[in-house]
A = this chain, B = another copy of it.
Amino acid sequence: MASRISRLFNIKYPIIQGGMIWCSGWELASAVSNAGGLGLIGAGSMTPELLKEHIQKTKQNTNKVFGVNIPLIYKHSDEIIKIVIDQGVKVVFTSAGNPKTWTPELKKHGIKVAHVVANSKFAIKAQDADVDAIVIEGFEAGGHNGREETTTFTLIPTVRQHIVKPLIAAGGIASGKSMLAAMILGADGVQIGSRFVASNESSAHENFKQAVVAANEGDTYLALKKLIPVRLIKNEFCKQIITAEIKGQTVEQLSEMLGRGRAKAGMFDGDLHNGELEIGQISSIINNIKPVKNIIDDIILEYNVARQQISHTKFDI
């Protein structure tokens, strides 16, 4: 079976690795592509020079297709677009910006383009911009997120009503059962973030990986809704933000509390106290750090078993 997503990107399984800042370098991206998924280098935390280096190392470490994730609001995004074209990257995932800006240029160079959204309105805009696929991200997803708080369970069937293009579901997916559930709800493939943070190959700091493994239900929170909403582990920093938000602190006050560099401090440098630790709710079922190949093999095995089990259930009408 090849889903539309597998065919589109020429990959074995319709599993896309989230292009997460500070966690998704060449090592993670090449491991995911080698294991049959689509690896993405997260350009949002790289200078253009560093990205070029990561693209080259990824090419050295896999002969499979891989992509680059580009947040369009990132200050270097124009330069990064030029690099991915020059370097012959085959797939680009864009987010946080207008998909009309770069999609025609990228497609002109034969690059497949997916765009990340959190509601039907922007999914329709992405479809109108003629992207090749649309990522729809639910409220439970880690990192930056939509303001409407629509969950994966609601988002997939709702967006599916309006969109004919291939849909990639993100948020809450870390297992074969959740991949199957997402596809039943109407997705053509899945994007998985949190599960890959806790892999041997992710560039997350070991402290952060251990924090993901330790995280349970209720341990993450969608904070900073007055700025750009972001789902974080409720560490000391996040708790300070929650307290400030309950008191009704302003955008300016919250911006000052946030300061700069907290995402790097938390996820890359391992400051669990003062850093931003971006992770999804589904960290509640992530209980180990393992190699990417094992993660993907386990997901596919569980998918096949769940599919087989459900095939025995049928209701008489």
A140 near B153: Cβ-Cβ < 8 Å: yes
B140 near A151: Cβ-Cβ < 8 Å: yes
Docked pose: A150 CA to B149 CA in angstroms: 12
**Interface stretch of the complex, out of A20-28, A39-47, A178-186:** A178-186
A217 near B138: Cβ-Cβ < 8 Å: no
B284 near A158: Cβ-Cβ < 8 Å: yes
* Minimum distance in angstroms from A51 CB to a CB of chain B: 32
Nearest-CB residue, chain B, relative to A174: B157
Residue A300 interfacial (CB < 8 Å): yes
Residue A311 interfacial (CB < 8 Å): yes
B315 near A1: Cβ-Cβ < 8 Å: yes
Which residues of A does B touch, CB under 8 Å? 1, 3, 12-13, 119-121, 138-140, 147-155, 157-158, 161, 171-173, 175, 177-178, 180-186, 216-218, 221-222, 226, 246-249, 280-282, 284-285, 297, 300-301, 303-304, 306-307, 310-317
* Minimum distance in angstroms from A166 CB to a CB of chain B: 15
In the complex, what residues of B have CB within 8 A of residue A180's CB? 184, 310
* Minimum distance in angstroms from A283 CB to a CB of chain B: 9
In the complex, what residues of B have CB within 8 A of residue A281's CB? 150-151, 154
Task: Name 29 A/B residue pairs within 8 A (Cβ), A-sorted.
Answer: A1-B312, A1-B314, A12-B316, A13-B315, A119-B217, A120-B216, A120-B217, A121-B217, A139-B139, A139-B149, A147-B218, A148-B218, A151-B151, A151-B171, A154-B281, A157-B177, A157-B178, A177-B184, A180-B184, A181-B182, A181-B185, A184-B306, A184-B310, A246-B248, A301-B317, A304-B317, A307-B310, A307-B313, A310-B310
A151 near B152: Cβ-Cβ < 8 Å: yes
Nearest-CB residue, chain B, relative to A140: B151
Docked pose: A75 CA to B155 CA in angstroms: 37
Q: Which of A175, A180, A300, A313 has most B Cβ within 10 Å?
A: A313
Docked pose: A208 CA to B19 CA in angstroms: 42
